[in-house]
Amino acid sequence: MNHGQPEVRSPGSGVRMNATPDPEPRSGVSSHRTLLALLLTGGFLGICLLQQSIDRFASSADGQGEELVFLPSEAKLARLAGGYSGLLADIYWTRVVQYYGRHRLARAAKFPLLGTLLDITTALDPHLLVTYRFGSVFLAGRPPEGAGDPARAIYLLQRGITNNPDYWRFWEDLGFIYYWDMKDYARASRAFQTGSERPGALPWMRALAASIAAQGGEIQTSRLLWIELARSAGNEAIRHSAETHLAALDALEALNRLDALLSLFAQKQGHEAHLMEDLVALGYLPGVPLDPSGAPYVIAPNGHAALGPQSRIDLSQVL
């Protein structure tokens, strides 16, 4: 019996339990907490030291006190970070956002450290997806909305793809930078097409690839992509869209062929044709040609072949 200390019994048993906890566990918990506090303190001290080893501050040439950043090799950076690389990546991503926001608010023409800060962040955590996605937007945007460096944005996204090969959204971002910022429709189409093959990619990625291929003049590539999309579409709306685009491609190719015939007619006859019937009458065509919607093609006032007023073809789908 423990004298001077109340006792209780557990229900249905004769086992005695002290009403107050044994002092030995309290001592153990206290020592564990002390150890944890020491570890955390040491860890945060390590982070501060690492920050100092990465960053150096000096006045820039323009007197703005721009931050100069020293970036060790990725292997050295990972070794310095120890088990805190994820936490440091979050810190540096916060710094990226602050740096970008500060320069954008100041309507700065240049963002000289943006790419370096993003390199640090992705070296610390190659799987921090937001860094690649938003970082590429920050880099590609025209000043003062961004750094005006789409080539660096592409490099960042390619790095993200290497480190996260199954994440299809990087291909989406890459395609849009090629399309909007680089005006490279062939590469944009290939980016969307490649991304459409990644796990979980949405069907419109393939549709974008087909549309942009047509804009870049790659009509046959566009046709093949739309045919495949129409064949494999999971719902009627996507299938209908694919068929609409294929009809527009057919009409566009027919118009190009008719323009060639009109040019040949003018060369041989010494004057331009005004009606499709003129080509039929002289044997250039077996009959007045019809577009995929069943409406006859016509000759526009500028002398080129055109869709007729009854046509239901929407050429804006491929132009």
pLDDT value for 112: 93
For the stretch 97-153, pLDDT in tens is: 999 999 989 999 999 999 999 999 999 999 999 999 999 999 998 888 899 999 999
pLDDT value for 203: 84
pLDDT value for 228: 78
pLDDT value for 52: 53
3 CB contacts (<8 Å, ≥6 apart)?
none
pLDDT value for 318: 74
For the stretch 148-166, pLDDT in tens is: 999 999 999 999 999 999 9
Using CA atoms, how far apart are residues 132 and 168, in angstroms rounded to an integer?
Answer: 12
pLDDT value for 15: 35
DSSP-H helix ranges across the chain: 23-54, 74-81, 85-105, 114-124, 129-140, 150-163, 169-176, 185-196, 204-215, 219-232, 236-269, 276-281
Q: Give pLDDT < 70 ranges for the chain.
A: 1-75, 78, 233-234, 319
Of residues 72, 174, 87, the one with CA closest to residue 125: 87
